[in-house]
Amino acid sequence: MQDGYIAAGGTECNMQAAWIFRNLFKRKYKAESHQIAIVHSEDTHYSVWKIANLLGIQQLVIDVHKTSRQINLQDLRTKIKKAKSEKIEYFIVVANMGTTMFGTVDNIDDLTTVLDEEEVYYKVHVDGAFGGFTYPFTHPKNSLNFSNSKVTSISLDAHKMLQAPYGTGVFLIRKGYLNYLATTEPHFMAHKIHTLSGSRSGANAISVWMILRAFGSKGLQAKVKRVMDLKKKMCTDLDKKKIEYIHDPHMNIVAIHHRHMVREIQHHYNLVPDNHDHPTWWKVVLMDHVNESMVQSFLDH
Ligand SMILES: Cc1ncc(COP(=O)(O)O)c(C=O)c1O
């Protein structure tokens, strides 16, 4: 069973998870902040850089292979070993269920195998802010969920694929863990506080509930299938045109290499690059409002 709450977005959910795990390591193992590190790939959302800074913990940024964007396991092992030699022994691991730029999904089994072999204390948080309402439908047998005993918490953004109003993240965590944040100080509230944000609008929680009820599981499956079909069409055409791109087969994002991109398309479709000063990739997200003729006219440019 899980606990959870509606947060302001993926950033707050990721923060909430890391904050809980930092407190757990401190309370349970008497760890000091400098012995705790957040571990994640270089493609991870920039919220984790904020989190490391705010929580005053160390950060291990792991290289990815440049075309598959999968975590370089050798680099992970080397950085864990180095951290251990510097007395960093507790790790908050962020596994991506869809990176922001490429939509690629981390292989959680490979990640945890390395951590187990290195015999370190760790907790895994799944960042599903981007893929949380897509990937479970396109790849139901994935192991980035609570059926995997190594996953402790998950974030999802309802204001992305679910199209809830902005400011609607979903934080989920196994039962018991929220106690690591419970306030002990006396205050005017009748109950304990377990969340990062204080006062907030209940309308966001209602909107998620209503959207989920309106679509139902079948409705969401159909919605995701539609955009995935469009994405397949796009990939087939890009292959024919010999255009280089990166994608995860189960996600609705295609990142197109800069050398194929023209300014007119970037502007017309408001595309986002991986790096604004030196772009290498431009991402295209297939969303609900996109139809076949829009994909065709994009490809015809
Ligand atoms: C993978 C991932 N994590 C976290 C976030 C942060 O979410 P938010 O902007 O809702 O705080 C994003 C946003 O794009 C994201 O793509």
CA 11 – ligand 1 centroid, Å: 6
The phi and psi torsions of 173 (rounded to 5 degrees) equal -150, 150
- Arithmetic mean of pLDDT over the chain: 95
Ligand 1: nearest atom to the Cα of 100 = 16
**What gap in Å lies between CA 140 and CA 157, rounded to an integer?**
18
Least confident segment among 44-58, 144-158, 196-210: 196-210
pLDDT at 120: 97
Cα 85 from chain centre? 29
Instruction: Answer yes or no: is pLDDT of 73 > 70.
Output: yes
Q: What is the DSSP string of 225-289?
A: HHHHHHHHHHHHHHHHTT--EE--TTSSEEEEEGGG--HHHHHHTT-EES-SSS-SEEEEE--TT
Q: Which two tokens stand for residue 271?
A: 């595309």
- How many angstroms separate the first and last alpha carbons of the chain? 50
Give the residues surrounding ligand 1 with Cβ less than 6 Å away: 9-11, 14, 45, 47, 100, 127, 129-130, 157, 169
pLDDT at 182: 76
How crowded is residue 295: how many other Cβ atoms within 10 Å of its Cβ? 18
Same fold? 2-208, 217-300: no
Instruction: Answer yes or no: is pLDDT of 298 > 80.
Output: yes
Q: pTM score, two decimals?
A: 0.96
CA 297 – ligand 1 centroid, Å: 29
CA 58 – ligand 1 centroid, Å: 21
pLDDT at 96: 98
Q: Ligand 1, residues 13, 14, 47, 168: which to mutate, most atoms within 8 A of Cβ?
A: 47
pLDDT at 301: 79
**What gap in Å lies between CA 56 and CA 60, rounded to an integer?**
13
Which residues share a beta bridge with 224? none
pLDDT tens digits, one per residue of 123-171: 999 999 999 999 999 999 999 999 999 999 999 999 999 999 999 999 9
Domain topology for 2-208: Aspartate Aminotransferase; domain 2 (3.40.640)
Q: Which residue's CA lies nearest to atom 5 of ligand 1?
A: 10
Q: Which two tokens stand for residue 69?
A: 């964007």
CA 44 – ligand 1 centroid, Å: 9
Number of H helices, E strands in the chain: 8, 11
Q: Which residue's CA lies nearest to atom 10 of ligand 1?
A: 9
Q: Ligand 1, residues 16, 50, 130, 252: which to mutate, most atoms within 8 A of Cβ?
A: 130
**What gap in Å lies between CA 202 and CA 130, rounded to an integer?**
23
Predicted confidence band of residue 1 (pLDDT cuts 50, 70, 90): confident
Q: Which two tokens stand for residue 168?
A: 């609607």
Which amino acid type is present at position 73? Answer: L
**What gap in Å lies between CA 145 and CA 99, rounded to an integer?**
16
Predicted confidence band of residue 209 (pLDDT cuts 50, 70, 90): very high
**Domain ranges, ordered by start, for the chain:** 2-208, 217-300
pLDDT at 151: 98
Q: The tokens 């863990």 sit on which residue?
A: 177
Instruction: Answer yes or no: is pLDDT of 186 > 70.
Output: no
CATH architecture label of 217-300: Alpha-Beta Complex (3.90)
CA 184 – ligand 1 centroid, Å: 30
**What gap in Å lies between CA 284 and CA 231, rounded to an integer?**
10
